């Protein structure tokens, strides 16, 4: 048994705790995976790290050794005394006991900036899998001043999150991620690297935030609405999918697709992000008329 595995079992036993499945608790027990996460996120003294779901603190401990400051957000009441016991006296450590989806992250970063000096803000986490997508969408849509997001997610989710739009694993979120970031898979992680073992393997991915979105879009709301509608009915052609969503009339849309040189029978999943950007500019002009 490795050191981290022993330590995790000991802490859980001493506190008479079991992993809470409903909260997506799978504790990392492999030191080498933690080292890899820290190394690939290039965690250093000039970083403010936001860790989502620290659990009993396996990743937190390593983050505190390398980062300038670590702010953790944990929902589970049971984890709070354990974390405070372990790291409460460390000046670099701060714990927010809340649901991450309810935390105002923009204000959190502003407050940290007022009181501490750092160059970059990075999110590093072994995410609770039941809310992977809402967490990532929150981090992107709130247009936070963060440099990178390095997170553990389920392996199949990792494929969708890091796919290039138009590729095999494309989904709505693929476009959002590709719009805001440069994504990559860092390492695949076997289910045995956690206690308890989740049902599927995992992967660590990194999303590096772009200075400006990858394509120029005037109406972001409409852009994502069109993409979402296209993927709600993936098997349909784009024209039929958007017709059901009542965003634009069938014939008008066919005309716009012709205008940008796309086949009228194209399906949304075959469209690149540039295709969607061009099409949405035209739809927007059309709607305004």
Residues making contact with ligand SAM (CB under 6 A):
23-28, 52-55, 58-59, 73-76, 79, 99-101, 126, 128, 131
Q: Distance between CA atoms of 83 and 118, rounded to whole angstroms? A: 23
Q: How far is the CB of 17 from ligand SAM (least distance, A)?
A: 11
Identify which of residues 108 and 253 has a Cβ nearer to ligand SAM in the complex.
Answer: 108
Task: With CA atoms as reference, report the closest residue to 206 among 42, 46, 5, 59.
Answer: 42
3-state secondary structure of 63: helix
CA atoms 134, 140, 143, 145: torsion sign? positive
Q: How far is the CB of 110 from ligand SAM (least distance, A)?
A: 20
Q: What distances in angstroms separate CA 270 from CA 4, 68, 191, 233, 258, one per listed residue?
A: 45, 44, 32, 13, 16
Identify which of residues 61 and 214 has a Cβ nearer to ligand SAM in the complex.
Answer: 61
Please state whether 49 falls in left (phi above 0), alpha (psi between -120 and 50) or beta: beta
Q: Return the structure tokens found at 114.
A: 């007022």
Q: Distance between CA atoms of 238 and 24, rounded to whole angstroms? A: 36
Identify which of residues 124 and 273 has a Cβ nearer to ligand SAM in the complex.
Answer: 124
- What residues does 122 pair with on adjacent strands? 49, 148
10 Å CB burial of residue 59 (0-12, 13-18, 19+) is: buried
Q: How far is the CB of 13 from ligand SAM (least distance, A)?
A: 16
Identify which of residues 36 and 228 has a Cβ nearer to ligand SAM in the complex.
Answer: 36
Q: How far is the CB of 59 from ligand SAM (least distance, A)?
A: 5
Identify which of residues 28 and 105 has a Cβ nearer to ligand SAM in the complex.
Answer: 28
Q: How far is the CB of 48 from ligand SAM (least distance, A)?
A: 18
Q: Distance between CA atoms of 49 and 149, rounded to whole angstroms? A: 10
Tell me which residue has its CB nearest to ligand SAM: 53
Identify which of residues 156 and 285 has a Cβ nearer to ligand SAM in the complex.
Answer: 156
Chain position carrying tokens 């990792």: 158
Q: How far is the CB of 179 from ligand SAM (least distance, A)?
A: 25
Q: How far is the CB of 9 from ligand SAM (least distance, A)?
A: 12
Q: Give Rg (Cα) of the chain.
A: 21
Identify which of residues 4 and 279 has a Cβ nearer to ligand SAM in the complex.
Answer: 4
């Amino acid at each position: 048994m490795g050191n981290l595995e022993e330590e995790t079992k000991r802490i859980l036993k001493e506190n008479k705790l079991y992993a809470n499945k409903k909260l997506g608790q799978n504790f990392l027990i492999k030191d080498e995976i933690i080292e890899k996460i820290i190394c690939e996120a290039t965690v250093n003294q000039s970083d403010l790290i936001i860790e989502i779901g620290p659990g009993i603190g396996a990743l937190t401990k390593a983050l505190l050794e390398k980062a300038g400051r670590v702010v953790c957000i944990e929902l589970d009441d049971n984890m709070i005394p354990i974390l405070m016991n372990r790291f409460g006296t460390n000046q670099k450590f701060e714990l927010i006991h809340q649901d991450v989806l309810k935390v105002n992250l923009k204000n959190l970063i502003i407050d940290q900036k007022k009181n501490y000096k750092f160059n970059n803000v990075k999110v590093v986490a072994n995410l609770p899998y039941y809310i992977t997508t809402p967490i990532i969408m929150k981090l992107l849509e709130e247009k936070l001043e963060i440099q990178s997001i390095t997170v553990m997610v389920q392996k199949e989710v990792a494929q969708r999150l890091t796919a290039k739009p138009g590729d095999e694993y494309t989904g709505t979120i693929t476009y959002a991620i590709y719009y805001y970031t440069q994504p990559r898979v860092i390492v695949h992680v076997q289910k045995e690297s956690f206690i308890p073992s989740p049902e599927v393997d995992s992967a660590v991915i990194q999303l590096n935030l772009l200075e400006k979105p990858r394509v120029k879009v005037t109406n972001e709301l409409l852009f994502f609405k069109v993409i979402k509608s296209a993927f709600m009915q993936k098997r349909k052609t784009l024209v039929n999918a958007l017709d059901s969503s009542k965003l634009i009339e069938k014939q008008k849309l066919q005309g716009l697709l012709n205008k940008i040189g796309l086949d009228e029978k194209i399906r949304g999943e075959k469209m690149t992000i540039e295709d969607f950007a061009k099409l949405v500019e035209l739809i927007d002009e059309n709607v305004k008329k």
